[in-house]
Structure 1
Amino acid sequence: MKAITIVQPWATLIALGEKHFETRSWATKHRGELAIHAGKKIDKDACDQPEIRAALVRHGYTADNLPTGAVLATCNLEDIYLINHHAEHMRLATSINEQGLIDEVFEGDEYAFGWYEEGRFAWKLSTLRKLPTPIPAKGQQGLWNWEGSHS
């Protein structure tokens, strides 16, 4: 299964079902199953942002107890959107899938959980399956193959 390594706290926000889009500077043709791997780095400044801190606290997490170096969840990479408008209260993106152009508006805490700058990409994640316990794994840059068990 393909996997992606994500800096904390964003990997945990995805695993908890709080974050539904992963923003990246690059797109991929991959669609389907994707493992969410928490890298070893924790952005403690991000953990102090009010929306992120509140989401983590709701689930009993702080910057001091986030899991690192492990796969936390699997999900489905459903689609990728090109961010084509950046405004204070609305981010509009256009799907770049083969079915044609579809607009998506990002709402709620997604603003605080991603980097929605024009020209970046929002990866729509669905069908989240949080693992009962994190599975230690060494991550990599870009998409990589994870051979671990996800049952």
Structure 2
Amino acid sequence: MKTLTIRQPWATLIALGKKKIETRSWKSKYRGPLLIHAGKSIDKKSCLREPIKSTLKNHGCTEKNLPTGLIIAKCELIDCIKMKDWFSDTSLKVIKATLENGKAITGNELELGDFTPGRYAWILDRVELLKNPIPAKGKLSLWEYEGDLNERH
């Protein structure tokens, strides 16, 4: 099954259903089932930034107990859309990003990704946290997990 390695805390935010758009510098033509692999590294600075800190805390997570080196969720990659532009207020805080299809990204979702124009929004749906995370080494780009997911899920 296609798998994407994502740094923490973003992998956990996806697994918890709090982050529905993964942002990447590259597009993918792939659509379909996707496993979320929590990479070995944790961006501890981001774990302390709101709304990430409070979202993690609400689920009993901190930068100290985030899973790493594990496939932690499965979902559907339903679209991949290029970011068009963003709007900010006078304090230079981005308050809205727009995708090429006209959809606006606001609120917490905007705080959980890099919506710089020219990047790509990978739209995720039907996210399921795995009951039994699967140890795996991560890889760049999309990669194939060859194990039997049904045994572990």
Deviation at 1:103, TM superposition (A): 2.1
Aligned residue in 1 for 2:111: 112
Aligned Cα RMSD in Å?
Answer: 0.9
Deviation at 1:109, TM superposition (A): 0.7
1:131 aligned partner, one-letter code = L
1:47 aligned partner, one-letter code = C
Does structure 1 residue 14 correspond to structure 2 residue 3? no
Deviation at 1:23, TM superposition (A): 0.2
Aligned mates of 2:78, 2:102 — CA distance in 1: 14
Contact 2:4 / 2:141 at 8 angstroms: preserved in 1? yes
Residue by residue over 1:118-147, the C-alpha shift from the partner in whole angstroms, topping out at 9 and shown as x without a partner, is 000010000111101321111100000012
Moved over 4 A (4+): none
Aligned mates of 1:44, 1:54 — CA distance in 2: 14
Does structure 1 residue 85 correspond to structure 2 residue 85? yes
**Residue identity (%):** 46
3-state SS in 1 of match to 2:139: coil
Aligned mates of 2:103, 2:58 — CA distance in 1: 27
Does structure 1 residue 137 correspond to structure 2 residue 129? no
Aligned residue in 1 for 2:90: none
Residue by residue over 1:19-57, the C-alpha shift from the partner in whole angstroms, topping out at 9 and shown as x without a partner, is 000000000110000000000000000001010001100
Deviation at 1:8, TM superposition (A): 0.2
Aligned mates of 1:104, 1:133 — CA distance in 2: 35
1:132 aligned partner, one-letter code = K
Aligned mates of 2:106, 2:146 — CA distance in 1: 34
Report the count of equivalent residues: 144
Contact 2:95 / 2:107 at 8 angstroms: preserved in 1? no
3-state SS in 2 of match to 1:89: strand
1:134 aligned partner, one-letter code = P
